[in-house]
Amino acid sequence: MIYVTHRLPVNEPGEPTLDRTAVWQGLVMKADNALPFVPAMTHCVVTARLSDETFDREIELFGDRYSERIDLQFERRVVFTRLSGPVLGTIVNDIEEEAGDLFLRFSFALVLGGAQSGSPEESAYADEMTSQYIAAVGATLGAIRRVAREEASVAVPAT
């Protein structure tokens, strides 16, 4: 089992200030279509809507196809559960708050099919995926900030 967790501050100097709702809306958009948020993903299609909070999607990541179930926990957490593909497990995006500051935490617990736990193959995969998932945290926040900048520029009338 490969387990990694990484947390970044949501708000940084020089960037639009995001509240919990803005981060949540960005995570929901990412769950629905991750392509603008995850550079390594080349395919993302919702295949079934099970409820307002739960749906299935098919993705392609690093050339591998996966089926995932998405569980939206309002303004708190998005859980991605891999249902099929070469690497199974769970990826969680949490919106956290500490002393009034917001953070976005990505955690994943994954099992590499065909590799023994603790094997050199699993360790090499874990190292590569860790750097890729940490990059995805930054890319996700970057995409949410880009949306906020676009919305702010539309909201301001030209003078």
User: Domain residue spans in the chain?
Assistant: 2-148
Q: At CA 68, angle to CA 128 and CA 119, rounded to 5?
A: 35
Q: What is the mean pLDDT of the chain?
A: 90
Is pLDDT at 158 greater than 80 in this prediction?
A: no
CA distances from 121 to 1, 3, 62, 115, 129 (A): 12, 15, 17, 6, 12
Q: Which fold has domain 2-148?
A: Alpha-D-Glucose-1,6-Bisphosphate; Chain A, domain 4 (3.30.530)
Rounded mean pLDDT of 111-138? 82
Q: Read off the pLDDT of residues 60-90 as tens digits, 9 standing for 90 and up.
A: 998 999 999 999 999 999 999 999 999 999 9
Tell me the residue type at 91: I
Q: What is the DSSP letter of 38?
A: -
* Residue 30: HSE in the Cβ half-sphere, 13 Å Cα cutoff: 28
Claim: this prediction has a pTM higher than 0.85: yes
Is pLDDT at 55 greater than 60 in this prediction? yes
Other Cβ atoms less than 10 A from the Cβ of 114: the count is 9
Asked whether the predicted pLDDT for residue 50 surpasses 90, the reply is: yes
Answer yes or no: are the C-beta atoms of 111 and 137 closer than 8 Å. no
Strands (E), 10-158: 41-49, 54-61, 64-73, 77-84, 87-98, 101-112
Helices (H) and strands (E) in the chain, counts: 2, 7
Query: Quick one: pLDDT at residue 122?
Result: 84
Q: Could you tell me the two tokens for 135?
A: 């990059």
pLDDT in tens, 7-34: 999 999 988 899 999 999 999 999 999 9
Nearest to 23 by CA among 107, 132, 134, 101: 101
CA dihedral 109, 113, 117, 118 (to 10 degrees): -90
Say what percent of the chain tops pLDDT 70. Answer: 97
Q: State residue 143's pLDDT score.
A: 87
